[in-house]
Amino acid sequence: MNKKALSERDICTKYITPALKQAGWDEFSQIREEVPPLAEQHRIIAKVDELMALCDRLEAQLTTTQAQSRRLLESTPHQALTRSSHV
């Protein structure tokens, strides 16, 4: 097992929590989950919402660009054939 690849959660689950239980300690009073202050949580949510809206706009723009590219590619052979018949 590559211990360097373990996350903090993995380390707690695999090593710290079992050691606390084995020592007879109450894991819920010994392990503290870090939660950002409420104002920071709201800032994070606002930023995520902002980024999701940006993703939606970029996805719509990409879809439009792909449709335009498809129409351009489809019209190019038609224009080439139409021009060659008039020459």
Between CA 6 and CA 32 the distance in angstroms is 19
Of the two residues 54 and 17, the one the predictor is more confident about is 54
pTM above 0.85, yes or no: no
Which pLDDT score is estimated for 54? 97
Per the structure block, which two tokens stand in for 44? 């994070």
CA-nearest of 12, 16, 11, 9 to 1 is 11
pLDDT digits (tens, 9 = 90+) for 35-81: 888 999 999 999 999 999 999 999 999 999 999 999 888 887 766 66
On the CB side of 11, CA atoms within 13 Å amount to 8
Which pLDDT score is estimated for 61? 97
Between CA 2 and CA 17 the distance in angstroms is 19
Delimit the domains of the chain by residue range: 1-34, 36-87
Mean pLDDT of the region 10-37 = 82
